[in-house]
């Protein structure tokens, strides 16, 4: 009886790919995802749309003649007065056992207080939170961009 054999070349490369797939993300990927999230959150907020899933548009100002008066348009409610609040939106990414963690936050104490006021509806203003809490999710449009990035990353993984 004849015996046959199969020779597989490049098995080391395949084994390395399999090993790398257990931890496919780099810190660079975390930074790229953080940039996507923060950029898209700022874009949505500038259009008066909450970056929180299901929250929709920010509630309009009850009396647009009152504060902030002529410094803000009635629509969109974009939370932009001086720009400092939205400009201080930051992220921090790190590798964790399960992959990556990207946390979004405001980089100044004053901006954190403003976010708390928007979340709670302080001073009789409508509630307009901008960062999802533990029971909320990021907007679907941002979620799609995150998934598209990860899909492209995995598609091109073998060329790393």
Per-residue confidence (pLDDT) for residue 65, from 0 to 100:
59
The pLDDT tens digits for 69-84 are 555 555 555 566 567 8
- Hey, is 92 helix, strand or coil? strand
Measured at the CA of 17, the angle between CA 156 and CA 147, to 5 degrees, comes to 40
Per-residue confidence (pLDDT) for residue 109, from 0 to 100:
93
- Say which DSSP state 68 is in: T
Sign of CA dihedral 137, 138, 139, 143: negative
User: How much is the pTM?
Assistant: 0.75
Residue 50 pLDDT > 70: yes
| Of 72 and 145, the one with more pLDDT | 145
- Domain range annotation of the chain: 25-159
Per-residue confidence (pLDDT) for residue 73, from 0 to 100:
56
| Of 76 and 38, the one with more pLDDT | 38
């Amino acid at each position: 009886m004849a015996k046959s054999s199969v020779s597989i070349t490049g098995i080391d490369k395949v084994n390395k790919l399999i090993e790398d797939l257990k931890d496919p993300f780099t810190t660079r990927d975390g930074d790229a995802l953080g940039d996507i999230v923060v950029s898209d959150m700022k874009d949505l907020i500038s259009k008066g749309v909450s970056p929180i899933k299901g929250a929709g548009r920010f509630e309009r100002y009850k009396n647009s003649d009152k504060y902030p008066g002529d410094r803000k348009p009635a629509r969109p409610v974009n939370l932009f007065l001086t720009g400092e609040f939205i400009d201080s939106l930051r992220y921090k990414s790190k590798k964790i056992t399960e992959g990556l963690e990207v946390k979004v936050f405001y980089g100044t104490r004053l901006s954190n207080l403003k976010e708390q006021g928007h979340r709670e509806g302080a001073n009789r203003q409508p509630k307009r939170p901008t960062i999802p809490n533990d029971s909320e999710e990021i907007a679907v449009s941002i979620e799609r961009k995150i998934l598209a990035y990860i899909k492209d990353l995995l598609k091109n993984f073998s060329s790393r």
